[in-house]
């Protein structure tokens, strides 16, 4: 796996944010992983601050890009779509790197946005641009444990 650090943010992305949001943005390391034979470039959200920010305020995510959320342990890990501007495919995985569930979620710009979770404990969540990525419950995405 290839990991590299991002040291900059693109200016067009920043131009659309409120000034208060720009000063609070987290930076993310990236990793390339293979899912069902396709290579994806994922930002890694390991800290609570990174996981809270997620893909908020992004106006676009390329077809093979997204975010990997790594939690300290298995649990009822939920996400919400507040301030998320694009539809996402969200994949929950257990501690054995097996896909538990895949959901297609829409942006939410309301004051109240629902949280989304699954019926079993998860350890990892992957967010990708909405679409059919051929990922289904029972699939395995290996190598995630090496990123902890």
* Rounded average pLDDT over 134-139: 95
pLDDT, tens only, 32-53: 999 888 899 999 999 999 999 9
> DSSP secondary-structure letter at 84?
B
Question: Is residue 24 over pLDDT 70?
Answer: no
Question: What is the structure's pLDDT at 3?
Answer: 35
CATH code at position 38: 2.60.120.1140
The pLDDT confidence band at residue 8, using thresholds 50, 70 and 90, is very low
Question: Is residue 12 over pLDDT 50?
Answer: no
Domain that holds residue 138: 3-147
Distance in angstroms (rounded) separating the CA atoms of residues 96 and 141: 9
Count how many domains the chain has. 1
Report the DSSP beta bridge partners of residue 89: 104, 128
pLDDT, tens only, 48-96: 999 999 999 999 998 899 999 999 999 999 998 999 999 999 999 999 9
Pair 40, 141: CB distance under 8 Å: no
């Amino acid at each position: 796996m290839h990991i590299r650090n991002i040291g900059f943010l693109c200016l067009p992305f920043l131009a659309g944010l409120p000034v208060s949001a720009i000063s609070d943005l987290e930076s993310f390391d990236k990793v390339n992983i293979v899912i069902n034979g396709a290579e994806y470039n994922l930002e890694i959200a390991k800290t609570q601050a990174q996981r809270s920010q997620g893909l908020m305020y992004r106006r676009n995510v390329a077809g093979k890009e997204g975010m990997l959320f790594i939690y300290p342990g298995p649990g009822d890990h939920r996400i919400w779509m507040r301030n998320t501007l694009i539809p996402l495919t969200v994949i929950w995985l257990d501690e054995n790197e097996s896909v538990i569930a895949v959901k297609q979620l829409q942006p939410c710009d309301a004051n109240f946005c629902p949280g989304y979770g699954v019926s079993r404990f998860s350890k990892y969540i992957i967010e990708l641009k909405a679409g059919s990525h051929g990922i289904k419950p029972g699939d395995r995405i290996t190598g995630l444990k090496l990123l902890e």
